Amino acid sequence: DGGITQSPKYLFRKEGQNVTLSCEQNLNHDAMYWYRQDPGQGLRLIYYSQIVNDFQKGDIAEGYSVSREKKESFPLTVTSAQKNPTAFYLCASSIELTPMSAQYFGAGTRLSVL
C-alpha cells in the first residue's frame, strides 16, 4: 500500500536533547513538508523540500533541522534550541509543487517534554 509512514507515534524529549522524527513515503512524490500543530491551532509550516538535497525554511523553522538525502525520506530533528517542542507533528507529501497538488499526510508524531 502506498502512503506516508511517520515514526514513532509518541516521543519524549529530555532537556537539552535532540530528537529525530522519521517520515518515509512510497508514493514517489517530489515534494515533502513538515507541519506543527498546537491545540486549537491549524497547522504551521516548519520546513519543505521540493527535491532531493534541497529544502527551505517555513514559518517556524527555528530550533528545527531537516535533511533530504533520499526522495522517499524527510526526517525532522527537533534540537535543544527549540524551547517549546511539545506539539503534534505531521509530515505530508505531494506529487509535485503546483497549487493543484493535494497533500497527503502521515499519521503524525506526538512529541512531549519530560
Partner 1 sequence: AQTVTQSQPEMSVQEAETVTLSCTYDTSESDYYLFWYKQPPSRQMILVIRQEAYKQQNATENRFSVNFQKAAKSFSLKISDSQLGDAAMYFCAIPNIDSGYALNFGKGTSLLVTP
- In the complex, which residues of this chain contact partner 1 (CB under 8 A)? 31, 33, 35, 40-43, 45, 48-50, 56, 58-59, 88, 90, 92, 94, 97-108
Report the nearest approach of partner 1 to the CB of residue 96 (Å): 9
d(CA 4, CA 96): 15
Report the nearest approach of partner 1 to the CB of residue 10 (Å): 12
**What is the maximum span of the chain, computed from C-alpha positions, in angstroms?**
41
Report the nearest approach of partner 1 to the CB of residue 48 (Å): 4
Of 65 and 94, the one with the shorter C-beta distance to partner 1 is 94
d(CA 58, CA 19): 19
Of 67 and 80, the one with the shorter C-beta distance to partner 1 is 67
Q: How close are the terminal C-alpha atoms of the chain, in Å?
A: 35
Of 84 and 98, the one with the shorter C-beta distance to partner 1 is 98
